[in-house]
Copies of this chain bind each other. A is one copy, B any other.
Amino acid sequence: MSPKEEESKNRKAEILEAAAALFAESGYYKTTTADVARAVGVTQPYVFHFFKSKEQLYLAVLDNAYEKILHAFNTAEAPPEQLPEAMGKAFADLLATHRNEILLVMMSYATPEDAVRQKCQERFDTVYERVKSRFEQAGIPDAAGRARDFIGQGMIISLAETLNLPKLLPWHGKLGPDCD
């Protein structure tokens, strides 16, 4: 497939991808639909052919990102005692491969748009319930508390990444294989 064909294969997917990067870096308000269009190489009004508003575009991006997180937590496998660790690693891997989307999810609760808040509330609840339920299945005591701490850990990792404060990363100071 030629680059040109590749490019025009699925404009909607291209827009979603570019928007994810831009929203993650510059947030909902500071990212303009013109920025997204420019990144893809189309004109600004054309974005509205695929998404009826900037808000709908943002929500679509956010939804994709939450799906990735849920999938990672659903598929992480390990013997019961090591489950939290394995899920933590799944999160760290996702952060490495899809940094934009992960940080977007972890920051979106601070976006004061009703529709965004609603989605964050619903999806964060789902993530929490999923983590708790997997911890329960693994026979981990105080699964609710552990799930809470697990999410807290995710938040502080995102904070550390966003503000460039490596001190706050849980793996700070420790070295592992392939540590840079």
Contacts and interface: CB of A to CB of B under 8 A. Distances in A.
Interface of A: 25-27, 29-30, 107, 109-113, 117, 120-121, 124-125, 128, 144-145, 148-149, 151-153, 155-156, 159, 162-165, 167-168, 170, 172-173
B148 A170 contact: yes
A20 to B, nearest CB: 15
B29 A30 contact: yes
Contact of A153 (B120, B125, B152): B152
Contacts of A29: 27, 29-30
Interface of A is mostly: helix
A110 B156 contact: no
15 contacts: A25-B112, A26-B112, A29-B30, A30-B113, A109-B159, A110-B110, A124-B159, A125-B165, A144-B172, A149-B149, A149-B152, A151-B156, A152-B153, A152-B156, A155-B156
Nearest to A25: B112
Nearest to A132: B167
A146 to B, nearest CB: 12
B162 A109 contact: yes
Taking the full assembly, how many copies of this chain does it contain? 2
A121 B164 contact: yes
A124 B163 contact: yes
B148 A156 contact: yes
Contacts of A121: 163-165
Which 4 pairs across A and B sit closest by C-beta, in order of nearness? A152-B152, A29-B29, A107-B110, A110-B110
A125 B163 CA distance: 10
A167 to B, nearest CB: 7
Given A128-B167, A168-B128, A30 B162 contact: no
